[in-house]
Structure 1
Amino acid sequence: MAEKFSKFRDPGTGIQVFLTPVVASSSSSGLASILLPLFAALGVVRAIVGGTSWGLYLLFGWKGFLRVVLFALGFVRLAVDEVSSGSGKRRETTSAVGAGGNGGGKGEVVLANHSSWIDLLVLSYLYPGIQFVVPVIEESTMAASTSTSESGAKKRGTPKANAMSANTRIATPTASTSGTNTTAPAILGYTILTLPSALRFIGALPPTRTALPAGTTHIHATLSATLSSTTAPLAFFPELVTSNNRALLHITTLPRTSPTLARCHITTLKYSPPTRTSISSVYTVGHPTGSIYTHLAQILFTSSPARGVSLKHSDLSAGEGGEAWADQVVASMSNMARLKQTSIDWWSKREFLTMVRARSKRA
């Protein structure tokens, strides 16, 4: 499968940024098969406890309920490694980061890398009351994706012209011949969503205006205006879409200068790799080929009841030496989580999703 998606391999790092990490196929699955009945039995208990706590969290908003949800998902330990932006020294804390354990306050903005719906749960636990800044893209983006999928299906059904075209890979298709649209979709603005609403769009492209939840009418023209529009703590994922937690997508949406009313926190999440007894926490492809519920069921009923995530936090100081704020953010994320920077843009996810869905239909 990796060969089929080689066009999404970053030339500088060799990393395929959208493929979900999996255990090598040569690994034995005997242990997993033996433990599966135990995992399934524990999964029933985890589902009941986690589901009940999730419902209580939605009703009362107390972060303790969300901690139980994360525990049920397997995150027994959620200590935050505090990284000093000045001295480089680190300390470990289990409290909410950035606000003395009381969550975010006025004008606080959290910037984080993005690879799973679990990111949102973790940030909501660390920053009680946090809301999520989500970009809104033009409607034609989705229409173009659909037409590309249909045209691609027709082209795949066309017989090869000759043996050379069928068995060689030396030609590089252009956008006009491959159906690839390399133009960045227009971002109409940014809106602010609650945790349940933001979860709907994980694994897909950013929503269009018509896809937003009912009652979501206010769309801010710029990211800076959005970050300064409320006293609630806000989270923003500069990558815009989920990648596979191995590298950072090329980040182009951040303003060059720091928003004047925002105190900026950088929080990075690096999940433990998958094992023979546990699937990855990474979630790169959403509905219709998969869903959060499917991924959740795999975590609860077919995986080990313990999984890990490395959390690091730092306050971003004002730019020094003329370095742009956006560059500071990207460099900090890359260094803190040891994620390499790539040249793959977020809108490449559009074609990736089209290919995955077409492959799913053929299967």
Structure 2
Amino acid sequence: MEKFSRFRDPGTGIQVFLTPVPPVGAGKVFAQILTPVALIVGVIRAALVLVTFVIWIVLNTLLGSINAFLISVFGRATLFWLGFAWLNAEVISLQKRGRAASSVRPLSSIKPTKGSIIVSNWSSWVDVLYISILFNPLFLAPVVAPSPTSAQSSPARSRENSRSASNSPTTARRRNAGAEVVTEANNAPASLGPSSRLLGFRKVSMWDMITASGETPMIRGDKNGKQDFKDIETLARKADRPVCIFPELVTSNNRGLLRMNPIFPASWRAMFRATGALRLGAGQPDIYIISIKHTPPSTQSPSSVLSVPGQRFNPLTHVWSLCASLNFSRSLQVRVLNPEESPSSEAFVADALVATTSAADPISELCGNLISQLSRLKRTGLGWEDKESFLALYRERRKP
């Protein structure tokens, strides 16, 4: 839509916030004819999802704790009713080619343990549910400071960052498995820009993260906010399960990756800059990199991404749209990086250009590069503050 064109990334031309729609005129008449059938299918699917959810909650209440087995069984059942008939994740090596790239090891052999950190891109509540099915982690939700009224507009700030990154001599272009990846250098000091508003994280449940899909980060001091935010190292160390974090902080529409934020502790960043590796000694957490890519929408299948949240009972409106579709074979491309190629691996050594980048958090930048290579999604200069401005404009335009 033209009125949201200022939220198009200037470097790549990608619109990363608007909900993806099918091509204009592709089977539109046929879809209208099948509308009554879709409504009947939607009611049946919605009833099945509701029954599954009620049984899930009852059993979980009786057991008195979050049960990984229940999440696996009922989570998969929920996605099945919504059309995700077959879910599969594969382990990918970025250092190998061809068929060997996805035959490194079975996914069942990858078991993030207590204190491990799972890093992934984020485009929908479906991502949250599927990661829970795979690894049953705790989720870390970002807590930010209120936006200063005198701040420069986010889209303008993104254009400046994008131009400085593209003109910087430290911009690296490299090819991996046929995909061109651009590493952008952020020349702004760490104390300025969007990163200065990121105060820390707080542990939340899977359900909290699902309802937060599409929304902006929690603001410290608002009516729903809490003050108990901490850094990722402290939360990971005290967690009794793996923790999952989305370095983009907000959902995109899965057409490109948003700007990665400085999520890792300052001591980790300093070590990484000095050595090109992450060697923290005894008790070092393992970092697992995941990419999730959704299939494009069609006339019979609305998008499974949730970039624009519902104003009430989020994400139930989106769940209904999936129920009332005639697609019974949705799929996700879920790829897990071979742990031996992760930044926390003993054998890992970063490229000199990545380790010495002027970005506020070189580890987060590296994770962004790896997710980009896994998913074949391009990185953009837009970030969570742009999403904040986008939602404000979108909701203003939607007012009667």
User: Alpha-carbon deviations, 1:214-270, whole Å to 9, x = none?
Assistant: 9x66321x2333333313111111100011101111113233345943211111111
CA contact (8 A) 1:227 1:259 kept: no
Give the corresponding residue for 2:31. Answer: 32
Give the corresponding residue for 2:9. Answer: 10
Asked if 1:98 corresponds to 2:98, the answer is no
Counterpart of 1:36 in structure 2: which amino acid? T
Question: Which ranges of 4 or more aligned residues in structure 1 deviate by more than 6 Å?
Answer: none
For 1:5, what is the secondary structure of its paired residue? Answer: helix
Asked if 1:344 corresponds to 2:382, the answer is yes
CA contact (8 A) 2:211 2:314 kept: no
Counterpart of 1:320 in structure 2: which amino acid? A
Alignment equivalent of 2:201, drawn from 190, 195, 199: 190
Counterpart of 1:72 in structure 2: which amino acid? W
Which segment is superposed worse, 315-324 or 264-273? 315-324
User: Alpha-carbon deviations, 1:313-345, whole Å to 9, x = none?
Assistant: 112133334444333211110011001011112
Asked if 1:200 corresponds to 2:188, the answer is no
Counterpart of 1:311 in structure 2: which amino acid? V
Distance 2:289 2:82 in 1: 24
User: Alpha-carbon deviations, 1:49-70, whole Å to 9, x = none?
Assistant: 2222223334433111111011
Give the corresponding residue for 2:246. Answer: 237
For 1:305, what is the secondary structure of its paired residue? Answer: coil
Give the corresponding residue for 1:173. Answer: none
Alignment equivalent of 1:219, drawn from 207, 229, 233: 229
Counterpart of 1:270 in structure 2: which amino acid? K
Give the corresponding residue for 2:350. Answer: 320
Asked if 1:75 corresponds to 2:95, the answer is no
Counterpart of 2:213 in structure 1: which amino acid? I
1:184/1:288 CA distance change after superposition, 3 Å: farther
Give the corresponding residue for 1:286. Answer: 309
Counterpart of 1:107 in structure 2: which amino acid? G
Distance 2:208 2:289 in 1: 23
For 1:6, what is the secondary structure of its paired residue? Answer: helix
Counterpart of 1:296 in structure 2: which amino acid? V
1:358/1:341 CA distance change after superposition, 3 Å: same
How far off is 1:310 after superposition?
0.8
For 2:381, what is the secondary structure of its paired residue? Answer: strand
CA contact (8 A) 1:272 1:308 kept: yes
Which segment is superposed worse, 310-319 or 232-241? 310-319
Counterpart of 2:102 in structure 1: which amino acid? R
CA contact (8 A) 1:279 1:303 kept: no
Distance 1:78 1:94 in 2: 15
For 2:327, what is the secondary structure of its paired residue? Answer: coil
TM-score, structure 1 as length reference: 0.79
Counterpart of 2:244 in structure 1: which amino acid? A
User: Alpha-carbon deviations, 1:7-40, whole Å to 9, x = none?
Assistant: 1111111101111110122323122123333332
How far off is 1:208 after superposition?
2.2
Distance 1:211 1:76 in 2: 40
Matches within 5 A, 1:47-86: 47-58=46-57, 59-60=59-60, 61=67, 62=70, 63-86=72-95
Counterpart of 2:297 in structure 1: which amino acid? P
1:219/1:54 CA distance change after superposition, 3 Å: same
For 1:199, what is the secondary structure of its paired residue? Answer: helix
For 1:270, what is the secondary structure of its paired residue? Answer: strand
Which segment is superposed worse, 264-273 or 50-59? 50-59
Give the corresponding residue for 2:123. Answer: 115
Q: How many residues align?
A: 317
How far off is 1:211 after superposition?
5.3
CA contact (8 A) 2:125 2:211 kept: no
CA contact (8 A) 2:310 2:318 kept: no
TM-score, structure 2 as length reference: 0.72
CA contact (8 A) 1:42 1:305 kept: no
Give the corresponding residue for 2:298. Answer: 275
Runs of at least 5 residues in structure 1 that lack an aligned partner in the other structure: 149-181
1:93/1:357 CA distance change after superposition, 3 Å: farther
For 1:4, what is the secondary structure of its paired residue? Answer: helix
Counterpart of 1:9 in structure 2: which amino acid? R
Distance 1:338 1:37 in 2: 38
1:92/1:286 CA distance change after superposition, 3 Å: farther
Distance 2:306 2:279 in 1: 30
CA contact (8 A) 2:41 2:325 kept: no
1:52/1:209 CA distance change after superposition, 3 Å: farther
Alignment equivalent of 1:135, drawn from 128, 139, 142: 142
Distance 2:365 2:26 in 1: 40
How far off is 1:82 after superposition?
1.1
For 1:248, what is the secondary structure of its paired residue? Answer: coil
1:219/1:96 CA distance change after superposition, 3 Å: farther
CA contact (8 A) 1:81 1:92 kept: no
CA contact (8 A) 1:133 1:192 kept: yes
1:279/1:259 CA distance change after superposition, 3 Å: farther
